[in-house]
């Protein structure tokens, strides 16, 4: 079977119940700069990786396991990802979204 390359865009964020001291520091800094209309800042991570798999379903399963095992701390973080086939012609790319 032919291998297909995919681009995974992974978004990792703190769970809503977890305090975010980095977000609070950014909010404070913005307030000192006059942006008092900004609140509820949460800081997260964005990760991109390319993965090669026989099917999109296999690629999704592997990215999900990567997120669950090393890319996100699932005790305090949530994650979601988008998987896009990397095609020779961009107009033929497909996208799927998944997450925990």
- CATH code assigned at 9: 3.30.1280.10
pLDDT value of residue 88: 55
- Average pLDDT value for residue range 12-29: 97
pLDDT value of residue 92: 47
- Average pLDDT value for residue range 18-38: 97
pLDDT value of residue 95: 60
**Domains identified in the chain, total number:** 1
Domain region containing 78? 4-99
Indicate the helix (H) or strand (E) that contains 85.
Answer: strand 77-85
pLDDT digits (tens, 9 = 90+) for 32-63: 999 999 999 999 999 999 999 999 999 999 99
State the residue for tokens 């800094």. Answer: 29
């Amino acid at each position: 079977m032919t291998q297909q390359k995919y681009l995974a865009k992974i978004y990792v964020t703190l769970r809503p119940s977890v305090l975010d001291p980095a977000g609070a520091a950014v909010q404070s800094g913005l307030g000192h700069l006059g942006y008092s209309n900004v609140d509820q800042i949460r800081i997260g991570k964005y990760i991109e990786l390319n993965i090669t798999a026989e099917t999109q379903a296999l690629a999704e399963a592997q990215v999900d396991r990567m997120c669950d095992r090393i890319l996100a701390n699932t005790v305090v973080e949530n994650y979601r990802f988008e998987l896009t086939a990397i095609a020779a012609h961009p107009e033929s790319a497909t996208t799927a979204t998944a997450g925990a």
